[in-house]
Amino acid sequence: MLTAKQHELLIFIHDRLAETGVSPSFEEMKDALDLKSKSGVHRLISALEERNFIRRLPNRARALEVVRMPETATPKPAKTPKPANTNVPAPVAANENVLEIPLHGRIAAGVPIEALEGQSSLSVPAALLGPGEHYALEVAGDSMVEAGILDGDYALIRSAQTARDGDIVVALIAGAEATLKYFRREGTMIRLDPANRAYDPQRYAPDQVQVQGKLAGLLRRY
């Protein structure tokens, strides 16, 4: 019995060999399975080898051979991100509406990082989005973990230029760095609060902070 990741990797290797005759690199396998490091690929390869699904060809770099396939193995469709918590509706069925929204790089839930914009998109069940214009950002960092926002999550953002105290916002700092934090006013300053006691609040003059959106939901890959 293979785990979901073992099965996914086996299918990926099999399909790549069928297409090109060359087994994929560990970096390609890591990216295809959304793993954080190549050590996870090594563990999956070893498990498949122990179960006699693949074997390494001696004296050849990147040489893997698929020995056998699971009886029920068929190529899997692309994964649909799962809701990050029980307050988000379950993934919709294939015949329900799915929207493509822009995926604009990574945003820091920690020390601010450079704001990135890309041309990618993310498929999102329409039921998760309310009115307004939305985009997605991949979360990097752990400063919002106590709000249930984890590294690698996809933050669904409703475009907005204003916020109320307590809103979780995308804040662009000094026109160059973006971060995901609780928004609060403190006297004449803007305070951006983390949801992790290991981090300190960040304080900025109002002209240094531009609200670019408010958190509308989360998606998480498993």
Cβ within 8 Å of residue 22, ≥6 positions away: 16, 62
Would you kindly state where each structural domain of the chain is located, as residue ranges? Answer: 4-66, 84-220
Q: What is the DSSP letter of 87?
A: T
The predicted pLDDT at position 1 comes to: 61
Q: In which band, very low, low, confident or very high, does the pLDDT at 12 lie, cut at 50, 70 and 90?
A: confident
What's the CA gap between 15 and 81, in Å, rounded?
A: 23
Given a cut of 60, whether residue 21 has pLDDT beyond it is yes
Distances (CA, A) of 29 to 19, 55, 110, 127, 140: 15, 16, 28, 32, 21
The predicted pLDDT at position 2 comes to: 73
Residue 190 corresponds to which tokens in the numbers above? 């803007």
Q: In which band, very low, low, confident or very high, does the pLDDT at 38 lie, cut at 50, 70 and 90?
A: confident
Q: Could you tell me which residues are beta bridge partners of residue 123?
A: 100
For the stretch 156-211, pLDDT in tens is 999 999 999 999 999 999 887 889 999 999 999 999 999 999 999 999 999 999 99
3-state SS assignment for residue 44: helix
- Residue (of 156, 96, 154, 150) closest to 126 by Cα position: 96
- CATH architecture of residue range(s) 84-220: Ribbon (2.10)
What is the third-level CATH fold of 4-66? Arc Repressor Mutant, subunit A (1.10.10)
The residues that are catalytic are: 143, 181
For the stretch 73-93, pLDDT in tens is 444 444 444 554 434 333 333
Average pLDDT of the chain to the nearest whole number: 79
Evaluate whether 4-66 and 84-220 have a shared fold: no
